[in-house]
Amino acid sequence: MAAVNKLVGSLAKRNLVARVQNSKYDGYRLTYGGYDYLAMRALSKRDSIHSVGNQIGVGKEAGKCSTVRVLPVCRTALMCYYSTDVYVVADEQGNEMVLKLHRLGRISFRAIKEKRDYLGKRKSASWMYMSRLAAQKEWAFMKVLYDHQFPVPRPIDQARHCIIMEAIDAYPLRQIADVPSPGKLYSSLMDIIVRFARAGLIHGDYNEFNILIRRENGEPIVIDFPQMVSTSHENAEWYFNRDVECIRRFFKRRFKYESALYPRFSAIKASDDDKEGQGFQLDVVVAASGFTKKDQKILEEYTETVTGEEYRDNDGASEAEEDTDTGEEEDDEAMVK
């Protein structure tokens, strides 16, 4: 027993576990640092990673990130309850990749357990469980999208709450001050939204934070898929319209570009109904790949529980907040011309 206590104490000193003392329990719990270690060890044993480099990004929803500001209209459905850490990693041959660690948090799970019955036999919920589901969902969608030639990073491996993907020489759209042809880029981004929808998917957080522009040719790459939903989702049209509006508002504000042409969800659905029975739906393919509808429901209900109706309540305030954002944006970001 003494040896066990010594080992646990050693883990606690390294912040891999943390002491828990209350009226019902006296012991230790796994920390995110410990969860990181378990995931990294699994990836290392599979020879997916050999070394870890610098941190290159923090998810825009991370509560402690002060260098990136989120535009009110484009806040993700997971808002401040969902964040990520991003690092450069390399394999044994020195090939650089990107490691993304999902970290869900910021609210009490008591409210979720009181309102939802989706935990099944699980007597308690944890951020690690939800973070793992978020990573599994992103991995499943990214793999299916990449296999079907969508403009997304190449997925390499996944373990627990971590995903490894290819490193792309690109700038986030939010950091680009000017482009040769705003109309061409606008059309490309709207075409991607339509292509997603025709495949049965809606990105759900399609904005300048989750779009990269390749340095070599200016082509867009889409990232960040934990919030993706099916076109059969009950709120599909709302998510679709929000994705479209995020792009329209960003182009109007940043590039002074406006277009009367933009996709409508109803038109796409009508077109799909006319072609019923042809082709296949990627949301169905994802479910068949291992990320089940039950997993999807757990993550979606978690999202809905922690966010409620905030987006709908804030629609009227978005314009006023956007005005204050415009003047500060360039001070917060390193702009690329």
H-helix or E-strand containing 258? none
Strands (E), the chain: 17-21, 26-30, 51-58, 82-90, 96-104, 155-159, 162-166, 170-172, 201-202, 211-214, 220-222, 229-230
Residues ≥6 apart with Cβ < 8 Å to 214: 168, 169, 170, 220, 221
The radius of gyration of the chain from alpha carbons, rounded to an integer in Å, stands at 21
- Does residue 91 have an active-site annotation? no
- Count the neighbouring beta carbons within 10 Å of the beta carbon of residue 5: 9
The phi-psi region of residue 211 (left if phi > 0; otherwise alpha if psi is between -120 and 50; otherwise beta) is beta
Dihedrals phi, psi of 202, to nearest 5 degrees: -130, 130
Dihedrals phi, psi of 303, to nearest 5 degrees: -60, -50
The active-site residue out of 205, 224, 243, 283 is 205
Catalytic positions are 205
